[in-house]
Structure 1
């Protein structure tokens, strides 16, 4: 079973995701940054795909949805920089993908289904 777990968009949510990654670096499969333009603003969602649990084989994908300004050349972004530094520290490549904003879809679940398809096509998620 694979499922997105939306943490939120605020500072606290980003740091919760960072803490999850730091506390279980051996379970981290991929770290992702989804870049998009939402309501005229360039924003980024950060996500972590964890390896499945040993019992139940649940594969979580934790995501902070469209709450971080997109990184720009010459401009500091504390939350994105912290995520990128953590990826380097645990030795996991940060994969950056450009996607449509979640508001393109009538329901958020359809957006997550689209992201799941993109991740599977890029072999970042195993087949069901």
Structure 2
């Protein structure tokens, strides 16, 4: 199975697009994630949703809004609250994972391979077949 991240943006207005994808593809929903990272002393979050392949396809898309949302565990931002509510509306629960910031990697592709490795290792997405 091929898993690939599709970046929607950094979580400003595109968070609404991510939530709409969840609502309209509820039947394909696989898992939701809040990735937290620290950069220059600030905590930021990335929001992501993995969908099951459509039809006979072997392609699993993982849509992500990357590192544009400030993260404070005690007082969540409105965007994170909207995301969490959308996931609850489809009777699912998000997974919160602390990861390395993308700036640690020399290329964005390396960062996404790192995330796929973490998700496979923790069985949040299926292994490579």
Determine if the TM-score, normalized by the shorter chain, exceeds 0.5.
yes
Distance 1:84 1:108 in 2: 26
In the alignment, structure 1 segments of 5+ residues that lack a partner are none
The aligned counterpart of 1:126 is 126
Aligned residues: 127
Q: What root-mean-square deviation, in Å, do the aligned CA atoms of Structure 1 and Structure 2 show?
A: 1.1
Contact 1:71 1:80 (8 Å CA) reproduced: no
The aligned counterpart of 1:110 is 110
Greater RCO structure (CA 8 Å; 6+ sep): 2
What secondary structure does 1:45 align onto?
Answer: strand
Cα distance change, pair 81–20 in 1 and its aligned pair in 2 (3 A):
same
Distance 1:43 1:63 in 2: 14
Residues 1-128 of structure 1: pairs in structure 2 closer than 5 A: 1-73=2-74, 75-128=75-128
Distance 1:58 1:114 in 2: 18
When normalised by structure 2's length, the TM-score is: 0.93
Runs of 4+ in structure 1 off by over 4 angstroms are none
- Structure 1 stretch displaced more, 92-101 or 49-58: 49-58
In the alignment, structure 2 segments of 5+ residues that lack a partner are none
When normalised by structure 1's length, the TM-score is: 0.94
Quote the offset at 1:56 in angstroms.
2.4
Distance 2:65 2:11 in 1: 8
1:78-100 deviation line (CA, Å, top 9, x unaligned): 10000111111111111000001
Contact 2:11 2:66 (8 Å CA) reproduced: no
What secondary structure does 1:11 align onto?
Answer: coil
